Amino acid sequence: MSTDKITFLMNWHATPYHAPVYLAQKQGYFANEGISVALLEPNDPSDVTEIIGSGRVDMGFKAMIHTLAAKARGFPVTSIGSLLDEPFTGVVYLTSSGITTDFRTLRGKRIGYVGEFGKIQIDELTRHYGMTPADYTAVRCGMNVSKAIISGEIDAGIGLENVQMVELEEWLVSQHRPRSDVKMLRIDELAELGCCCFCSILYIGNDAFIKANPDKVAKFMKAVKRATEDVLTDPLGMFERYIDIKPQMASAVNRKIFERSFAYFSRDLKNVPRDWNKVTAYGKRLGVLPEGYEPNYTNEFLQGWDLAKDSADPIGDQKRMAALQELVKEQGGFRRIDDGEKVGVVGVAA
Amino acid sequence: MSTDKITFLMNWHATPYHAPVYLAQKQGYFANEGISVALLEPNDPSDVTEIIGSGRVDMGFKAMIHTLAAKARGFPVTSIGSLLDEPFTGVVYLTSSGITTDFRTLRGKRIGYVGEFGKIQIDELTRHYGMTPADYTAVRCGMNVSKAIISGEIDAGIGLENVQMVELEEWLVSQHRPRSDVKMLRIDELAELGCCCFCSILYIGNDAFIKANPDKVAKFMKAVKRATEDVLTDPLGMFERYIDIKPQMASAVNRKIFERSFAYFSRDLKNVPRDWNKVTAYGKRLGVLPEGYEPNYTNEFLQGWDLAKDSADPIGDQKRMAALQELVKEQGGFRRIDDGEKVGVVGVAA
């Protein structure tokens, strides 16, 4: 017997920034739309595009660079919306490692990466800094980059500002060391990309599934849009609900990760064409996309709400975001750069 | 493009007793057999048989009663081996709830269950004790039965001796209360089944997948058999490896769950015909299997090692197991009833 359940595979174990999909399930928003969804989690994030691209699973989350590369490699997927816009991503290190803001201090170091693309990105960067891939040791870490830095297995590793940096900051606090001992060499800055959009986390779908089920896809996106609005309006209340679903979210570090992810949530779930063009060009430069490759995204399933105009000042936005995240690191709370002229604060955890 | 990866879906979030499959992956045993496996975890355990039975995922773990019912409902799956033999399962409660060894003390109580079958089992039991399903309040809890007991949302809930009871025991210790304040009304005893095999955790596969890929299935089972042997020979060392894969296993409660699961691991992975016959009869009694239903298991993929003879004294084994688990609860360590004339101790955690 076939099933009408939509299968949806996370890009990672359940994580604070996944809140909208788990809440869409828990709040009954999928059911309200008349769809049934099974949420699945991977043991290895590197399996995700292959499993979705081959049609074994219908939909899921994945970063932009992986989404582009998947289709180029014969695993046809398309992004149908954005979960997180441009989370800062880079080489995360402790100051005690001897690494500095100078990329060349990575020489001789052991650098952890998740699956494959982090290594491709670092390898490509070595050329711009008079080095070769043989100048550092790459260590595949899967989902355990922070753990490997803490254990000393690696000197630095690729991670997100709102996840791995937070894990390391909270570990530092437990060691009576300042949070400022963890730093990031941002890949977008090193590679002069002008955005951290290669790591934007997207809603993706298998191409054949999308073509055969446009209504289901639109209903899915409507349900997660509703849950996203809930999160943006009442982050503390919604995080408590998320803890009901996933008790491990109650940890101090997961609460911090949720705060630090808050500013990155896409409000309208829009795929940003400018970002896609930049990352497509970057993918060609990395050698993972052929010349002439057309980016694989669509906004056609975002129906029933307005999509924001493209920002007139994306570089300025990025600077504001960096300052905002420093503020959240210091003071906590739920803040976004799109909340008005000045930084808006929705609520600050006691 | 299709994928040759075998997809394998857990019955639960990653849990100490899943060690053999994660270790088979980490130790390279799947790769040694020439197969590639993607391990997946569900958000809702109730999705598992539908997703495997409909062929969306190839293989997975599920309890015997669910495996039987899945095929009867049109989601064709077959058990190809056993992970855990007869873990004690029942209504778990704190003595402070007012519940006693008398089933009738459940009257008026709120009883949590995972998905569906726990409720069917309790409903059926009410008839044997002069009650009706209306005499208690059923509360669906998914994977959060222990949490709901702790929060007071429910008075008792269905769980395993080696998982939910341990979670509650360790919570009691944190409250300066004795571990003995958590008790279980064993369903096998209440229902006079003569075994706790309805909850034996099995390796299952989609029927069409098994038919089309007998070699892959046999290789998969060979790899997990090898990892099972590692676990039984060196439980402490293998658990440390499991922690490398899943850092959350390092918690005190997960270490205890692993100790308490150790005795239940099937050494030869055999489906035990006597158990299947008993549970098939029980499924008919529960009304979830039609008359004439034939149990859906096979041992044909367990190739290259000897399968143990059926125990001559299964009731005696169960008594020995109950005594053994009490000992492990008090003293810790890794003990099994098949280690010789007297209780064998592989190693005791410091």
**Nearest residue to A301 via CA among A103, A144, A82:** A82
- Dihedral sign, Cα of residue B287, residue B288, residue B291, residue B294: negative
Round the average pLDDT of chain B to a whole number and report it: 95
Q: Does the pLDDT of residue B243 top 80, yes or no? A: yes
Mean pLDDT of A319-323: 96
Q: How far is CA A116 from CA A9, A69, A121, A282, in A?
A: 19, 11, 9, 16
Of A18, A66, A128, A176, which is the active-site residue? A66
Helices then strands, counting H and E runs in chain B, come out as 14, 12
* Chain B residues with CB-CB distance to A248 below 8 A: 248
pLDDT in tens, A23-34: 999 999 999 999
Does B14 sit within 8 Å of A53, measured CB to CB? no
pLDDT of residue B341: 40
pLDDT at A344: 43
- Mean pLDDT, all residues of chain A: 95
Tens-place pLDDT, residues B96-112: 999 999 999 999 999 99
Q: Closest CB to B75: pick one of A1, A40, A41.
A: A1
pLDDT of residue A318: 93
Query: Min CA distance, A184 vs chain B (Å)?
Result: 23
Task: Find all residues with CB under 8 Å of B189, minimum gap 6, and list them.
Answer: B90
pLDDT tens digits, one per residue of B17-61: 999 999 999 999 999 999 999 999 999 999 999 999 999 999 999
B-chain residues near A42 (CB < 8 A): 38-41
Contact call for A74 and B147, based on CB within 8 A:
no
In terms of CA atoms, which chain B residue is nearest residue A37?
B47
Specify whether the CB–CB gap between A169 and A259 falls below 8 A.
Answer: no
Q: What is the mean pLDDT of residues B271-283?
A: 96
- Residues of A contacting chain B (CB within 8 angstroms): 1-3, 5, 7, 9, 13-14, 22, 25, 38-44, 47, 50-51, 53-57, 73-76, 144, 147, 244-245, 247-248
CA distance A160 to B154: 39
Nearest chain A Cα distance for residue B201, angstroms? 20
Residue B42 with chain A: CB contacts under 8 Å:
38-41
Catalytic (active-site) positions of B: 66
Instruction: Verify whether the Cβ–Cβ distance B51 to A3 is below 8 Å.
Output: yes
Which of A51-60, A88-97, A259-268, B335-344 is the least confident region? B335-344
Chain A positions touching B76 (Cβ under 8 A) are: 1
What contacts A116, CB < 8 A, 6 or more positions away?
Answer: A46
Query: Over the stretch B168-201, which tens digit does the pLDDT of each residue have?
Result: 999 999 999 999 999 999 999 999 998 899 999 9
Distance between first and last Cα of chain A: 51
Residue intervals of chain A classified under CATH 3.40.190.10 are 6-85+198-308, 89-195
Question: Cβ separation of A3 and B74 shorter than 8 Å?
Answer: no
Identity of the residue in A40, A56, A247 whose CB atom sits nearest the CB atom of B41: A40
Q: Say what the pLDDT of residue A342 is.
A: 41
Interface of B with A (CB under 8 A): 1-3, 5, 7, 9, 13-14, 22, 25, 38-44, 47, 50-51, 53-57, 73-76, 144, 147, 244-245, 247-248
CB spacing of A39 vs B38 below 8 angstroms: no
pLDDT digits 0-9 by tens, B10-22: 999 999 999 999 9
| pLDDT reading at A3 higher than 50 | yes
CB contact under 8 A, B40 and A39: no
- For every residue of A293-315, DSSP letters joined together read PPP-B--TT--SSPPPPPPS-HH
Inspect the interface and report whether the beta carbons of A3 and B50 lie closer than 8 Å: yes
pLDDT at A347 over 70: no
* List of chain A residues whose C-beta atoms are within 8 Å of the C-beta of residue B244: 144
Using CB atoms, pick whichever of B40, B47, B56 lies closest to residue A42.
B40
Residue of B nearest to A54 (CA): B2
**What residue in B sits closest to A75 (Cα-Cα)?**
B1
Q: A66 catalytic, yes or no?
A: yes
Confidence grade of residue A113 (pLDDT, cut at 50, 70, 90): very high
Cα A217 to the center of its chain, rounded Å: 21
Q: Reply yes or no on whether the pLDDT at B293 is more than 50.
A: yes
pLDDT at position A348 over 60: no
Given CATH 3.40.190.10, say whether it is the number of domain A89-195.
yes
Decide if A42 and B38 are in contact by the 8 Å CB cutoff. Answer: yes
**What SS3 state is found at B30?**
helix
Q: Which of A3, A42, A54 sits opposite B3 (nearest CB)?
A: A54
Hey, CA dihedral for B220, B13, B184, B349, is it positive or negative?
Answer: positive
Please say if the pLDDT value at position B350 is more than 70: no
With a cut of 70, say whether residue A84 has pLDDT above it.
yes
Contacts of A45 in chain B (CB under 8 A): none
Predicted confidence (pLDDT) at residue A157 exceeds the cutoff of 70 = yes
Spatial distance between the Cα atoms of A122 and A167, rounded to a whole number of angstroms: 22
Arithmetic mean of pLDDT, A146-150: 96
Option in B13, B47, B74 nearest A5 (CB)? B47
Would you call B1 and A42 a contact, using CB atoms and an 8 Å cutoff?
no
Question: What average pLDDT score do residues A77-95 get?
Answer: 97
Q: In the predicted model, what is the mean pLDDT of residues B123-133?
A: 95
Reported as a single tens digit per residue, the pLDDT across B303-332 is 999 999 988 999 999 999 999 999 999 999
Residue type present at position A308: A
Q: Categorize the per-residue pLDDT at B1 as very low, low, confident or very high, splitting at 50, 70 and 90.
A: confident
Answer whether A56 sits within 8 Å of B54, measured CB to CB.
Answer: no
Residue A35 pLDDT grade (very low, low, confident, very high; cuts 50, 70, 90): very high
Q: Does residue A77 contact residue A49 with C-beta atoms inside 8 Å?
A: yes
Cα angle at B37 between A201 and A247, to 5 degrees? 50
User: Thinking of the domain A6-85+198-308, which architecture would CATH place it in?
Assistant: 3-Layer(aba) Sandwich (3.40)
A75 and B1: CB-CB below 8 Å? yes
Mutate: best of A35, A40, A151, partner B, most B CBs <10 A: A40
Residue A260 pLDDT level (bands cut at 50, 70, 90): very high
Confidence band of A1 (pLDDT split at 50, 70, 90): confident
| Closest to A118 (Cα-Cα) out of A164, A182, A170, A173 | A164
DSSP of B230-257:
HHHH-HHHHHHHHHHH-GGGGSHHHHHH
